[in-house]
Structure 1
Amino acid sequence: MTPQDTKALDALLEESVDQQRRRVLKVGAAVRVAGALLFLLIVGALWLTGRQDWALYPLPLALYLGVAAALLALHGKRFVQWLDVAQSLVDVGLVFWVQHAALPLSRFPSGIAGFSLGLFSLVVVLSSLTLMPSVVYTTALLSAVAQAVLMREADVSYGSVVLAAVVLFLVAFMSQYGSQRLRQLVLAFTRTEVERQIEARRFQELEQAQQTIEQMLGETRAQNEQLLALQRDKDQLIQFLVHDLRSPLSALTMTFSWLEAELSVGGDLALMQGVRSGIAVTGRMERMITELLDLPRLEEGKLELRPQRLDITAMFEEVRQAFGQAAQFRRLTLEVEAPVGQVFQGDKALLMRVVENLVANALRHTPPGGRVRLEAGKDGSAPYLAVRNDGTPIEEGLRTRLFDKHMQGEQERSARSGYGLGLYFSRLAVEAHGGRIAVEDVQGWTTSFVARLPAPSESSRAA
């Protein structure tokens, strides 16, 4: 048990002992009433039969009987416990009074003195019912003094007086020792029983907790299985949707390709530009569909990269062509800044989609008349890809959470556009290359998304 439990248990035990003391004192009061009544009847009978040497006993016994009866009737009051303690001293005084008065009238004074020893011993035994050692030994001391006075008045030798005192103290010791040992035994037994019950209750609580945990685990497993089933259904639904989307998209791409071939010789240049923009858009749609398929594998780390040498200028030009009309419609300037002939190592399909996602995000958040720049370069030997714009800046608290799954800005939530997967996919794709993507502060631009890739040696190891 803990120290707090031990203190609480000791307090409960002391309260129980106090309750038992009050009950025992009530029994002692009843014993005094019964004893006084019995002695009064015997003495009264002897006196009425003509034994005048018993004439001194009825009055003090009657008075004592009244006090004992009153004490028994008042039992349960707070002050009664202290009256019971005082009763032991009254017992000594009563025995001494009666025996001292009867001693001169008796033909055998030494017999009266010897009989007093038994009465004093009874008084000492009754005082032990208080379960208070100080009361018991005080009663024994007063009884020994009173017994010594009576014995000396009866001309009993000093040796007998000492022996009588020793007897009274032995009676006090044995009475107190027995009650104390019994009390200690009861307390030890009670403490052991309480500890056993506490351990049993703790074991029961542990079993209940274990059952609760097992039940919760079972429910969690069932929920996980249900979620896995829903995930499988979702993946299967995506597969069906992708299959259904790819067929008309492929037909649309073939149509644009046929139009491009027909217009390549002597065709309208504006119409040719529109056809090529359509081919770029359908290509982007195909990559978006593939992105939906690749996202679960990126999350599980199971997507196998296909690294190759990438001409960044050509890749940026392809992205600018795909978003050129969207930028013109929003009256935005779409810039490209990349060293001519710079080559990166990476998965072209993934990095192309990263740049497309960042550009689409920048076009949505840049006001008319603004600028969006596609930029590539190297910090030392580590290459980077950046998409910068001069639109609304991103709050510091949102920057770290912007690449989480289904995370959307205030504009997307209010317009209910998008699902918060573009930047999440971009983060996973860059991390699959061993790099990192973040929003950085760059002078001259309010918002700058930068994907930093590992140096060529590190990139080859990541691949």
Structure 2
Amino acid sequence: MAQPDTTAFDAQLAEAVDQQRRRILRVGAAVRVAGTFLFLLIILAMWLSGRHDWAHYPLPLTVYLLVAAGLLALHDKPYVHWLDVAQSLVDVGLIFWVQHTALPLSRFPPGIAGFSLGLFALVVVLSSLTLMPGVVYATALLAAVAEAVLMREADVSYGSVTIASVVLLLVAFLSQYGGQRMRQLAVAFTRTEVERQVEARRFQEVEQARGTIERMLGEVRAQNEQLLTLQRDKDQLIQFLVHDLRSPLSALSMTFSWLETELAEADLALMQGVRTGLAVTGRMERMISELLDLPRLEEGKLELRPQRIDTSSLFEEVRQAFVGAAQFRRLTLEVEATQGLVLHGDRALLTRVVENLVANALRYTPPGGRVRLETGLEAGAPYLAVRNDGPSISEELRGRIFDKHVQGEQERATRKGYGLGLYFSRLAVEAHGGRIAVEDAPGWGTSFVARLPTTPGESTRVA
């Protein structure tokens, strides 16, 4: 597990240490004031009792008491903090001055020098309250020098001077080391507590995020269920509507069939119109079947009815159905089929595939253009192609044009179609084990090519 970032924690810790240092220095300032006042009272009592060798102490102690009291009163000011740090060095200087002055007047100079060692040790301990090792050791060194000078003036041996210096350095080390170790221990405990709280907060956030995700997933599932229900209802409604369209369409087809049998062959124009009507109604019936078959194709449940299909007759049937529309748009609708080429497949499905491709080509081919229905063999496998010299399809659209509800720019602009024709064509071709795609062909803007496998059943030529 990655360690938490402690940068902010270190900054907060440094601020906390600084706050504690200011509080401790305030305590040190208060101790100096109280200690100096107590010493002054004792010295005044001894001086007034007739001990004239203490006469030189009251004045410097009174001055020092006033300075220490002033520092204590101004302790909250930022600049006073640095004076507190320097105060330990001032304390050493004051003790040295007072003891150096008292030394010639004392009847026992070594005692004055020995008493100074205790005062210097007290100052070193007070300097450790700054929580700054440099200040502590600087105070100890200065005190050791001052003590050595006093002891030599009192004619104390060098051995005692050395021992006194070592004692002051040991006092500095122990004072600083103890405080440092306590600080490190506090930091360690604080870091551990911070990491524990961070981990607990992280776990809590993860649990909250997991709960949020589960709630959102539940809402999404509920919405999906509603959408699926609406989709099923919509599909069922479409199925009902399409199914109900068959009855009037069948009646219309029967009427055209009756007219075809009753009309005389001499009336060619009227007969052509009737036959066109039959072709159109037949195509509409196949479109209705397409809508009904689409859900089963999507689920892979549509059962194919394979049979031998003569591609020439299939293309001629489609051409007859669209020749009127092609003439209306001033388009040339031509057929190029390999004679005798036979496919094995579901004729109704493949007819609807070709019709969808032709309808798409007529829609996009400009007036005066050509649309070709083409079939043949390539690498031993049959193909069905519908080509036109209209605008080409962009590479970006080619990859998804056979998806459901995908439409070209013209269809979206005119709101014609629902993007199901090419989608149905892909499903129908794939149901036969083939594939359909937009391919490039010389001389043609757009070519839809459906390639069918040679099995089951091989494509052959009729003898």
- In the other structure, the counterpart of 2:122 is 122
- In the other structure, the counterpart of 1:63 is 63
Give, in whole Å, the separation in 1 of the partners of 2:102 and 2:303.
119
Q: 1:4 to 1:194 in 2, by over 3 A?
A: closer
- In the other structure, the counterpart of 1:163 is 163
Q: Which amino acid in the other structure matches residue 383 of structure 1?
A: P
**What SS does the corresponding residue of 2:441 show, helix, strand or coil?**
coil
**What SS does the corresponding residue of 1:105 show, helix, strand or coil?**
coil
Give, in whole Å, the separation in 1 of the partners of 2:402 and 2:228.
24
Q: 1:197 to 1:339 in 2, by over 3 A?
A: same
Q: Which amino acid in the other structure matches residue 450 of structure 1?
A: V
Give the alignment of 1:170-189 within 5 angstroms. Answer: 170-189=170-189
Q: Which amino acid in the other structure matches residue 335 of structure 1?
A: E
Give the alignment of 1:6-21 within 5 angstroms. Answer: 6-21=6-21
Give, in whole Å, the separation in 1 of the partners of 2:79 and 2:404.
77
Give the alignment of 1:313-324 within 5 angstroms. Answer: 313-324=312-323
- In the other structure, the counterpart of 1:302 is 301
**Matched-pair contact (CA < 8 Å) for 1:385–1:451:** yes
**What SS does the corresponding residue of 1:156 show, helix, strand or coil?**
coil
Unaligned runs of 5+ in 1: none
Give the alignment of 1:182-331 within 5 angstroms. Answer: 182-263=182-263, 268-331=267-330
Give the alignment of 1:330-369 within 5 angstroms. Answer: 330-369=329-368
Give, in whole Å, the separation in 1 of the partners of 2:457 and 2:254.
40
- In the other structure, the counterpart of 1:427 is 426
**What SS does the corresponding residue of 1:195 show, helix, strand or coil?**
helix
Give, in whole Å, the separation in 2 of the partners of 1:56 and 1:28.
26
Give, in whole Å, the separation in 2 of the partners of 1:160 and 1:386.
116
**What SS does the corresponding residue of 2:368 show, helix, strand or coil?**
coil
**Matched-pair contact (CA < 8 Å) for 2:265–2:271:** no
**What SS does the corresponding residue of 1:446 show, helix, strand or coil?**
strand
How far residue 266 of structure 1 moved from its aligned partner, in angstroms, is 5.2
- In the other structure, the counterpart of 1:46 is 46
Q: Which moved more, 1:151-160 or 1:190-199?
A: 151-160
Residue-by-residue CA offset, 1:268-311 (whole Å, 9 max, x unaligned)? 33333322222222221111112112222333333333333221
Q: Which moved more, 1:300-309 or 1:421-430?
A: 300-309
How far residue 4 of structure 1 moved from its aligned partner, in angstroms, is 7.6
Q: Which moved more, 1:429-438 or 1:335-344?
A: 429-438
Q: Which amino acid in the other structure matches residue 55 of structure 1?
A: A
Give, in whole Å, the separation in 1 of the partners of 2:394 and 2:161.
103
Residue-by-residue CA offset, 1:22-79 (whole Å, 9 max, x unaligned)? 2222221222122222222332233234332221111111221232223223334444
**What SS does the corresponding residue of 2:50 show, helix, strand or coil?**
coil
Residue-by-residue CA offset, 1:67-95 (whole Å, 9 max, x unaligned)? 22232233344443332222111111111
Q: Which amino acid in the other structure matches residue 88 of structure 1?
A: S
Give, in whole Å, the separation in 2 of the partners of 1:222 and 1:150.
92
Q: Which amino acid in the other structure matches residue 11 of structure 2?
A: A
Q: Which moved more, 1:399-408 or 1:175-184?
A: 399-408
How far residue 356 of structure 1 moved from its aligned partner, in angstroms, is 0.4
How far residue 360 of structure 1 moved from its aligned partner, in angstroms, is 0.8
Residue-by-residue CA offset, 1:92-113 (whole Å, 9 max, x unaligned)? 1111111222222223323222
* TM-score (normalizing by structure 2): 0.92
Q: Which moved more, 1:387-396 or 1:198-207?
A: 387-396
Q: Which amino acid in the other structure matches residue 54 of structure 2?
A: W
How far residue 2 of structure 1 moved from its aligned partner, in angstroms, is 5.4
Q: Which amino acid in the other structure matches residue 200 of structure 1?
A: A
Give, in whole Å, the separation in 1 of the partners of 2:294 and 2:265.
43
Which 4+ runs in 1 deviate beyond 4 A? 1-4, 457-460
**Matched-pair contact (CA < 8 Å) for 1:44–1:58:** yes
Give the alignment of 1:99-110 within 5 angstroms. Answer: 99-110=99-110
**What SS does the corresponding residue of 1:408 show, helix, strand or coil?**
coil
Give, in whole Å, the separation in 1 of the partners of 2:241 and 2:57.
117
**What SS does the corresponding residue of 2:330 show, helix, strand or coil?**
coil
Give, in whole Å, the separation in 1 of the partners of 2:457 and 2:439.
23
**What SS does the corresponding residue of 1:417 show, helix, strand or coil?**
coil
Q: Which moved more, 1:47-56 or 1:3-12?
A: 3-12
**Matched-pair contact (CA < 8 Å) for 2:4–2:195:** no
How far residue 243 of structure 1 moved from its aligned partner, in angstroms, is 2.2
- Measured on the aligned residues, the alpha-carbon RMSD in Å equals 2.3
Q: 1:397 to 1:301 in 2, by over 3 A?
A: same
Give, in whole Å, the separation in 1 of the partners of 2:2 and 2:61.
54
How far residue 459 of structure 1 moved from its aligned partner, in angstroms, is 8.5
Q: Which amino acid in the other structure matches residue 105 of structure 1?
A: L
Give, in whole Å, the separation in 1 of the partners of 2:367 and 2:93.
115
How far residue 458 of structure 1 moved from its aligned partner, in angstroms, is 9.6
How far residue 267 of structure 1 moved from its aligned partner, in angstroms, is 6.2
**Matched-pair contact (CA < 8 Å) for 1:453–1:459:** no
Give, in whole Å, the separation in 1 of the partners of 2:293 and 2:30.
95
**What SS does the corresponding residue of 2:5 show, helix, strand or coil?**
helix
How far residue 163 of structure 1 moved from its aligned partner, in angstroms, is 2.7
Residue-by-residue CA offset, 1:325-356 (whole Å, 9 max, x unaligned)? 21222222211110111012222222111110
- In the other structure, the counterpart of 1:87 is 87
Give, in whole Å, the separation in 2 of the partners of 1:87 and 1:240.
100
Residue-by-residue CA offset, 1:207-234 (whole Å, 9 max, x unaligned)? 1110110011011100110011101101
Give, in whole Å, the separation in 2 of the partners of 1:209 and 1:231.
32
Give, in whole Å, the separation in 2 of the partners of 1:248 and 1:148.
127
Give, in whole Å, the separation in 1 of the partners of 2:423 and 2:98.
107
Q: 1:354 to 1:169 in 2, by over 3 A?
A: same
- In the other structure, the counterpart of 2:410 is 411
Give, in whole Å, the separation in 2 of the partners of 1:417 and 1:241.
19
Q: Which amino acid in the other structure matches residue 143 of structure 1?
A: A
Give, in whole Å, the separation in 1 of the partners of 2:427 and 2:458.
15
How far residue 457 of structure 1 moved from its aligned partner, in angstroms, is 6.0
Q: Which moved more, 1:69-78 or 1:227-236?
A: 69-78
* TM-score (normalizing by structure 1): 0.92
Instruction: Figure out how many residues of one structure are paired with residues of the other and give that number.
Output: 459
Unaligned runs of 5+ in 2: none
Give, in whole Å, the separation in 1 of the partners of 2:91 and 2:162.
22
Give, in whole Å, the separation in 2 of the partners of 1:458 and 1:256.
37
Give, in whole Å, the separation in 2 of the partners of 1:236 and 1:444.
44
Q: Which amino acid in the other structure matches residue 288 of structure 1?
A: M
Give, in whole Å, the separation in 2 of the partners of 1:226 and 1:376.
46
**Matched-pair contact (CA < 8 Å) for 1:382–1:456:** no
**Matched-pair contact (CA < 8 Å) for 2:343–2:458:** no
